[in-house]
Amino acid sequence: MSLLQNLKQLRPLLVFEQVKARRQHRLLSGLGVVGVMTGLCLVGIYLRVSKAPGQKAAWFESILRDYVNGVNFSIITLGASLLIILPMMLGVFTASSLAGELQAGQIRIMALRPVSKWAIFLSKYLSMCGYCFSLLLGMMLFSYAVGSLVFGPSGDIFVWDPGVVGSHKTEFFLKEPVAWQRFGLMYFLSFFTLCSLAAYFLMFAALLKKTAPAIAVPMGLYLACHIVGAMPIMDRLNAYLPTKYLFIGKYTMAPNMDWSLVMHDGTFLVGFTLAYLVIGGIAFCNSDL
């Protein structure tokens, strides 16, 4: 079947995937979690910057008071969600979208139509990418809105190691226009991180074909890679772990962005993503339905 035919088949499949996602309230659940994360971050930061007058405020708190606004509050919320919460949601929804439908036999009724298995697989991936985009957009708008209401809409920002995405341990200030650029870039690059994770979970869903293992196994491996990669004694292994190249958005949180590092890690990220898609696609296309 030609590539063009495959692409033509994608349109109705994508529409179908969108309808299914909407009816399963996937976006609503995702945005609910985003809301909770934003709320927790808001309370956490608010407690730091609102120490009662007269108390001896630490240097960090006083800096925060002047240099936290909607922009870096949103970045902090994203950083706090990117390691566990967003991947966990992606894992659950991706597994239920492919392995769940395989297990229930719903994929079979779709495969009884003139659509190739590749098109079905690709439509699931693209729909998950759309989900990642919506989730990030929702998080960006909501966390910025909440942050700007409480801490102010804009201004110079203070950046420190968020401690979750492995950025360089630095603390520095960014001027307002640069802060906005970094804010946009952080979200933009995080989109690729989530798209790669979607491909990773989809590959496991195609390989394992059952919902529970398709959530537990890749999630376990993902966390194991993070834990192992973060232990100094095993740092030599880190270079071979797929999680090393996952968070390319971390490079936006440096005084001067090193684009060569973004390109380097980005190339690996794309390579891993393609490998996940090819392996998953082959496994899915060769499975009996």
Partner 1 sequence: MTTPAIEARGVSKAFDARKVLDNIDIHVESGSIFGFLGPNGAGKTTAIRILLGLMTPDSAEVEIFGKDLFTDRDQIVRQVGAIVESPVFFEYLTAFENLRYLASLSGPVGPGKILKALETVGLAEVADRKVKTFSFGMKQRLGIAQALLPENRLIFLDEPTNGLDPHGIMDMRRLLRQLRDELGITIFLSSHLLVEVEQVCDHVCIINHGVKVKEAKVSDLLELQDRVELCCPESDQAKVLSLRLKQAAEHHCSHGKARFLLAATEPDIPALARALVAADVSILKLAKHKKTLEDIFVELTAKPQTAPAAAGL
Footprint of partner 1 on this chain (CB under 8 A)? 1, 5, 9, 12-13, 15-16, 19-20, 23-24, 104-106, 108-116, 286, 288-289
Distance CA 204, CA 210 (A): 10
- For partner 1, the closer of residues 99 and 140 by Cβ is 99
Cβ proximity to partner 1: between 5 and 29 the closer is 5
The dihedral built from the CA positions of residue 151, 153, 159 and 164, taken in this order, carries a sign that is: positive
| Residue whose CB is less far from partner 1, 111 or 237 | 111
Q: Which residue, 13 or 248, has its beta carbon nearer to partner 1?
A: 13
Q: Which residues contact 93 (CB under 8 A, 6 or more apart)?
A: 21, 26, 30, 128, 131
Locate all alpha helices (DSSP H) within 56-159, ordered by sequence. Answer: 59-67, 70-82, 85-95, 101-104, 106-111, 117-151
Judge whether 159 and 169 are in contact, CB under 8 Å: no
Helix (H) or strand (E) holding 157: strand 157-160
Which of 41/119 has CB closer to partner 1? Answer: 119
Q: Which of 170, 176, 164, 161 is nearest to 67 (CA)?
A: 176
